[in-house]
């Protein structure tokens, strides 16, 4: 009786509230039991999972005899035209987001992304959706799905936004660790300073370089290194067409090729040797050996302890040397044409890559003139003098002066590439041919991209007597370079050439701010790994 009292009281005082409470309780109970039933169903009978055999871990692929044969479609080629068709793709899981009975996955293949939807249905079980939502980011998955045309709505943030995949099978090929040292999304976030609303989360350069393999997966990096390969290929192609021969020069040398201060010493059996800092001597020897036109692609080492945005201790050198008939301009214009062929090739064949880099970094399109603009050193000085920077007739251009001149030339001619011809003799190495008509000048040229020097070249002295004279004039011990001088003793065609750094050309073509962005595994005074 006592027990009923409070109930009565409550009924009296607040009967409506009580009723509601009761009802809610009952509802809860009902739901609980319902869930229990469901759970028992799920737990008790896993065989009833309708999707068994449609998802899971694929296990280690060891190229066994029972490997399935499937034809895969590239993510980049997924589009409206494939609507309604079933396709297999192998891609990385970029992001995954589960919502109730649905799971949205964004799959990435290089710089291309597509959205996949796992939806509970007659053939897709809840367990499969759950499995999908738990796959760690950056894992590689095989996925089957049918292409669905999304019409005008589209998926924002995916490159293949006009369609999505309705998933029917998901297999994990390779699992990524769940903790990533950097998020691909952060690493690929646009770095344009003008966007005030965007997230300010960035991955700093060192973190990127320490985890370079993850960093390299960003669309911009994918594009940069494909473009770099393009530069190298175009260099080879254009020169081969022009009758050049590719040669390979030794990288371990006995003596320093230029100067001697900035070479790496390595132990060589009982003695020591040096790492080549330029293939120049060997290119010239190839000319003396009648190869006429040669080029070489290879590593170049510079032991310069300079931590700037444009110096590496190891880089890829693209060097060429060419014999000419009467005037070194034959060579200079060939090199200019080669540059233009590279620029045109990049413009016409790598538009997608350039756009991909442009999505992350603010890049102004590279401009050039065909035939290239050739200015004389003195004309360059005149342009600078007009802008208020006086350079003496026998002085070299300082880096700021070079940049200013680049801007002046860009403003006047609207070209990011130009050639500066006829440098003062005093600022060039001893093997540079002096100008026959003006004793102050030399037959040498520098080529500039966006106001930074990319190639320094010249007609070389091919006469042993003059070469000895010039070396003495520069205070160089002739006995140390005897082998070099001797190579011209048995007759040598007049020749000129030059070399460019691949990384620097790519950096400047794209207008990036650091050469480490265009070196896959950069080496500088502070970095030897990875």
Partner 1 sequence: MNGPVNFYKTREIIRHDVEVSVPNNMYKMKNIHDKKTKEGPLVNHVSPFQDSVNISMQVNQFLKKLEDQPEINGLEERLRNIIRELDEIRDDMSKLKAAVTGHEPVVVPELNDMIVNANPSFPPYAILALQKLCAPVVNLVVGTHTHSSIPSLTPEAENLAQKLREFVPLADLPKISLRLIWKNVGPACELLATQLPICGEANVLRYFARVLPGLFIYENSDNVTDLDAALDIAYCLVQAKTKTERASHLQSLSKKLGKSQFLCAHAEITIADIAACSAIKQVAQNEVNQTMGKWLVRCEQ
Min CB(508)–partner 1 separation in Å: 14
Q: Which residues pair with 193 in a beta bridge?
A: none
Positive or negative, the CA dihedral 297, 298, 304, 310 is positive
Q: Which CB sits closer to partner 1, 292 or 337?
A: 337
Q: Which residue has the tokens 């990127």?
A: 208
Q: φ and ψ at 235, to 5 degrees?
A: -60, -50
Q: Which residues pair with 97 in a beta bridge?
A: 104
Q: Which residue has the tokens 């027990």?
A: 3
What's the CA gap between 80 and 86, in Å, rounded? 13
Min CB(416)–partner 1 separation in Å: 9
Q: Which CB sits closer to partner 1, 297 or 408?
A: 408
Q: Tell me which residues touch partner 1 (CB under 8 A).
A: 343-344, 347-348, 365-371, 373, 379, 411-415
Q: Is residue 136 within 8 Å of 22, Cβ to Cβ?
A: no
Q: Give catalytic residue positions.
A: 302, 304, 310-311, 453, 456, 504
Q: What value does the CA radius of gyration of the chain take, rounded to a whole number of Å?
A: 33
What's the CA gap between 323 and 326, in Å, rounded? 10
Min CB(449)–partner 1 separation in Å: 12
| Max CA pair span of the chain | 128
Min CB(277)–partner 1 separation in Å: 33
Give the residue among 87, 96, 85, 114 at the shortest CA–CA distance from 169: 87
Q: Which CB sits closer to partner 1, 211 or 367?
A: 367
Q: Which CB sits closer to partner 1, 186 or 370?
A: 370
Positive or negative, the CA dihedral 323, 328, 330, 332 is positive
Min CB(351)–partner 1 separation in Å: 11
Positive or negative, the CA dihedral 135, 141, 144, 149 is positive
**Three-state SS for 384?**
helix
Q: Which CB sits closer to partner 1, 191 or 379?
A: 379
């Amino acid at each position: 009786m006592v027990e009923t009292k409070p109930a009565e009281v409550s009924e009296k005082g607040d009967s409506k509230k009580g009723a509601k409470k009761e009802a809610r309780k009952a509802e809860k109970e009902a739901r609980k039991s319902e869930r229990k039933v469901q759970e028992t169903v799920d737990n008790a009978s896993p065989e009833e999972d309708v999707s068994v055999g449609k998802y899971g871990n694929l296990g280690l692929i060891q190229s066994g005899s029972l490997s399935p044969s499937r034809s895969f479609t590239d993510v980049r080629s997924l589009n409206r035209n494939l609507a309604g068709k079933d396709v297999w793709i192998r891609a990385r899981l970029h992001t995954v987001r589960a919502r109730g009975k649905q799971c949205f996955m964004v799959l990435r293949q290089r710089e291309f992304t597509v959205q996949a939807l796992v939806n509970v249905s007659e053939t897709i079980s809840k367990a499969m959706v759950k499995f999908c939502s738990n796959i760690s980011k950056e894992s590689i998955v095989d996925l089957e799905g049918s292409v669905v045309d999304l019409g005008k709505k589209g998926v924002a943030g995916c490159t293949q936004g006009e369609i999505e995949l309705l998933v029917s099978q998901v297999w994990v090929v390779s699992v990524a660790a769940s903790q990533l040292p950097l998020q691909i999304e952060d690493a690929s976030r646009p770095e344009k300073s003008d966007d005030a609303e965007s997230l300010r989360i960035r991955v700093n350069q060192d973190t990127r370089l320490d985890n370079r393999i993850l960093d390299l997966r960003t669309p911009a990096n994918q594009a940069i290194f494909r473009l770099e390969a393009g530069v190298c290929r175009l260099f080879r192609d254009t020169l081969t067409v022009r009758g050049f021969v590719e040669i390979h020069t030794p990288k371990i040398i006995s003596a320093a090729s230029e100067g001697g201060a900035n070479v790496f010493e390595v132990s060589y059996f009982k003695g020591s040797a040096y790492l080549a800092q330029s293939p120049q001597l060997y290119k010239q020897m190839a000319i003396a050996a009648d190869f006429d036109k040669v080029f070489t692609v290879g590593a170049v080492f510079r032991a310069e302890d300079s931590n700037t945005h444009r110096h590496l201790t190891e880089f890829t050198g693209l060097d060429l040397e060419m014999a000419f008939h009467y005037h070194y301009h034959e060579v200079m214009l060939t090199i200019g044409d080669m540059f233009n062929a590279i620029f045109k090739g990049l413009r016409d064949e790598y538009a997608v890559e350039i756009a991909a880099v442009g999505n992350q970094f603010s890049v102004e399109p590279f401009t050039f003139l065909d035939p290239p603009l050739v200015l004389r050193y003195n004309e360059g000085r005149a342009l600078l003098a007009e802008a208020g920077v006086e350079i003496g007739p026998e002085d070299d251009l300082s880096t700021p002066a070079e940049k200013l001149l680049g801007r002046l030339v860009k403003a006047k001619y609207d070209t990011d590439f130009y050639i500066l011809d006829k440098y003062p003799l005093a600022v060039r190495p001893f093997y540079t041919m002096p100008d026959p008509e003006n004793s102050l000048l030399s037959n040498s040229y520098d080529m500039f991209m966006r106001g930074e020097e990319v190639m320094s070249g010249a007609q070389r002295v091919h006469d042993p007597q003059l070469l000895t004279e010039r070396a003495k004039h520069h205070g160089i011990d002739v006995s140390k370079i005897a082998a070099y001088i001797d190579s011209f003793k048995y007759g040598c065609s007049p020749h000129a050439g030059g070399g460019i750094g691949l990384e620097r050309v790519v950096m400047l073509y794209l207008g990036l701010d650091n050469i480490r962005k265009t070196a896959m595994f950069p080496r500088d005074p502070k970095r030897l790994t990875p």
